Structure 1
Amino acid sequence: MATGMVATVSPRTLPTAPPACIHTEPATSPLWTLLLRQLKYQLHILGFDIAEPLAISWYNDSVPEGMGRSIPTPSAPGGRTLALLVGNNKNLWPHFLKAYNSDPSLQHSEDPLDTYVERCISAAANATGRPARIFWGHRERDGVIGGPSLELQRMASAAGVAFWDQSSCLSLHPKYGPWFALRAVVVFDGIEYTGSRPTPLQNPLNDSTKAYVRMAVRSARNPSTDNLADLSGKKDLGERRSSGDEHPTRELVRSRWQRWVAVRDAPYPGHIFRYPKLMLEYHYTGNRACLHLNKC
């Protein structure tokens, strides 16, 4: 699949809406409302419960100067171009497991979940019949200008989907808390988004919870920093990012994945949308033993 472009996937692989689910839009409705209604339904039945529109300039204008992670808009309507941010909560897991256990090509894929994500989102976009570019959250240098990756957390903040707590690198959804994943943004060149910009979300965490979350982050990165006293005089994760320090490596996360789960548990213990056990383990470790239906 070409980077940043929609894969060629037959729309026939997607279920069609039953008659009771089909709604007639007024003839004067903007085109983006028709696309959004169709895409939300198609993505939902594949396990993607987050599908929120934005004008691409909301994201581009929020990228700090010099970071170079904006998405190019080569044609009209420019900054008003329609973009759709796509993500999932725990409801993706049974859809993915069913597909994995019935599809040998997924079983032989280097990363079955990323492959499933790309197939589904690409097919849903293709089914609209409109040209689209797709930028993937799991790909490096996925067509963004100059930067190493697309900042989907920043985009979610700009679109009013979630509050981005940069001190912990957690995005907090009003309904799902930290228990969701941002997968891609679909850009429909030539289609103007005329919806109103949402009011920015406020940080839902109080000061003591923020401190506890930061402590959990430090514990995940270094087991010797397991008490609040270690917070004194040290940079938080957001400061390290802005000063050029890197995120934890994939190897570090896999070797200490339970501590990274504790980071997400820290703000909302026992959250109703917390990932189930095997989904959690696979999310952090990629252990394929978690992908068999008879274990669920």
Structure 2
Amino acid sequence: MKKVWLGVLLLALFTFMGGCSQSSGGSEKEDGKKVVKVAISDEVNPPFLYADEKNNPIGYDMDYMKEVEKKLPEYTFEYIWGEEESNLVGVDTGKYDFAINWFFKNPEREEKFLYPEHEFGYSLTSLVTKKDRNDIKTLDDMVGKKFPPMSPSGGLRTILNAYNEQHPDRPLTIESMDAPSNAENLKLVAKGKADAMFINVTTFNEIQKELNLDLKVAGIISKEPIWTVYNKDNEELANKIDEVTVELREDGTLSKLAEKWFGVDFFQDLKYINEEGFKFEK
């Protein structure tokens, strides 16, 4: 019985020590550095995050993390590919310390995860039209015009719903469809069966590479913050990375990375981003 109780006590001790290590962000290595397990999504979204020919993660997100690593030498960051929803479950359960990709905030996620105070980048939403149209640049221009069908949920629909709440006398007409195809919707615009599509610039660019439709980005509508999401026990780690994010923004590093990967500094305001001559081609 003494051996049994000794085993129980040792198990409890190891469990407690493991919990302490997890709460501060990672486990100890022999060199004294803490290992931080970072979940990255195999549902890639260039140029935020994708893989090179050797399956190494590259993109804006990874360049940002390289700069974070330089500022936090007390940590060793390990990156693990995985399906996005599984990654989020892993962060929630403590399998991973945090996840990075193209995450937005919503009430459900904020209940489960710890968000830092500052975003590390932006997703640009846009209106895409036929190349020969110059009458559509803003959401105001879409009043009385036709969008392709949209999912009834999701971040893009939320933006349009908010517009309608702010303009009850001049609402946008939005047709709903479960799981619509971005590619098919863009084809509707190219054929003139819809006036414009509301879509993220990066999503449009990737589809356009394949389809080469007679379309253009007519105007940038909004900048949507993107975030890392942490296990709620990793407040210390989240705060340290958040401090680094502020430093990287203030010293211009993140602006340079935005220029490198997107062709424009998306930390500037929308007037700058929409200035004449910017072609949205990168």
- Is TM more than 0.5 here? no
Bigger Rg over Cα: 2
Q: Which has the higher contact order (CA 8 A, sep 6+)?
A: 2
Q: Which structure has the highest strand share of the two?
A: 2
What TM-score, normalized by structure 2, do the two folds share? Answer: 0.27
What TM-score, normalized by structure 1, do the two folds share? Answer: 0.26
